[in-house]
Structure 1
Amino acid sequence: MVFLTGAGVSTPSGIPDYRSKTGLYTTGQTKRPTEYYLSHDCLVNEPAVFYQFVMKNLYYPAAQPNVIQTKQAAFTQADRAAIVTQNIDNLYEQAGARHLHEFHGNLYRIYCQKCGAVVDYSTYAHSMYHEPDGGILRPDVVLYGEGIDPAVAQASVNAVHTADLILIVGTSMRVYPFAGLLDYRQPHVPVVVINQERLELPGVTAQYELDATEVFDRLQVGASHD
């Protein structure tokens, strides 16, 4: 199996999504479009503005994995699944997921742009500057104006192409190139959607407008029919 997931799998952990009616892009009280604050241009031209925005709006260090993430992680630990996620919140890592492809990176991988040194979240929360050399720190996430890591993109394509079953969970599938991953599935492979809003996607085998937490709470990872 391959799980294709988005912000909807993290909302039960208290992390707001981006594109719903109550999402960051809709409710953000900003002078400029939210996309600007999450762009390479903002990071380069106004690093303090970028830092303040991401610290205020993206980091939820107290959040814990929910049942969706822990059950999906359990399937990967049993070598029965891979996860390709748009999420950058580190919850899959906390859940112990294997075969994990973080398409847009991870907020908690933070490095100095000057020397490449990696620092932890608490260091970044204290300052956007790397004290030894004064370099500006940044999270290892894909910003607007930046490309997907080619190795991650290829691994994600390979996962989808070799899947026997694809489950789309908690994502609108509107953001490219992530949404384009479906183009690499084998034509005979079933695609199942578990989402709170209906998706208009070609080739969907079954679609369930349900709360994914209820679905995954009932799944038994060890059962051969799952």
Structure 2
Amino acid sequence: MKLLALETANEQCSVSLIDENQVLFYKLDDRAKAQTQSILPMIEAAFQQAEVHVSDLDAIAFSRGPGSFSGVRINAAVTQALAWSHDVPVIPVSSLQALAQAAYRMYQLTEVTAVLDARMSEVYIASFQLNAQGLMQLVDEEQLLNYENAAAYQKYQMIGSGTKCIHPELNDYSNVQATAEDIATIAREHALKKHWLSADLALPVYLRDNAWKKIPEQGKA
């Protein structure tokens, strides 16, 4: 099994290539908004290092959002282009679930409320618990909420960039960021069970209606 995982849904960009047992390639470019310059060269580097071609992939996993509008769109577009051109299935992964998985990877937290800054005094939020397979699983619904409602929606320890929006005094885990490592970890189980979708369903999830109209209001896309 060969799985390519892509993460550009937020400020940084990362790529991972794995098989059923190990990581064959991983690279992170943490420069803000460098996704469009970085993603394709990083994918090519992954293929070269692992001596793999797109047609050898069993699936392509990607962070489908919610997150930065432009970042989510880049991730979905690159995934769909690669998958469609080589008839490779896709595995969409929630960026909030990946954030929760990162909290487990970095801090061994097993119950978290994942929160991403959505700009405009709002956050993307959902809560997760670790299952027996070591994967974070959703326990409520992904929501786009204002700060007050998000504080009321919180179930567990908050992690992610939205933490300091709601609780400025609690920044212990605000530095948690998901990478392609976390996308790959979640997607591996789906790939082994062949739980995937066709390329035309490599679609972004924004949670915010009319997201494209609000980019100027966000200050950052």
Looking at both structures, which has the greater relative contact order when contacts are Cα pairs under 8 Å and sequence separation is at least 6? 2
Query: Which structure is higher in strand share?
Result: 2
Point out the structure with max Rg over C-alpha. 1
TM-score range, shorter chain: under 0.3
Superposition TM-score, scaled by structure 2 size: 0.28
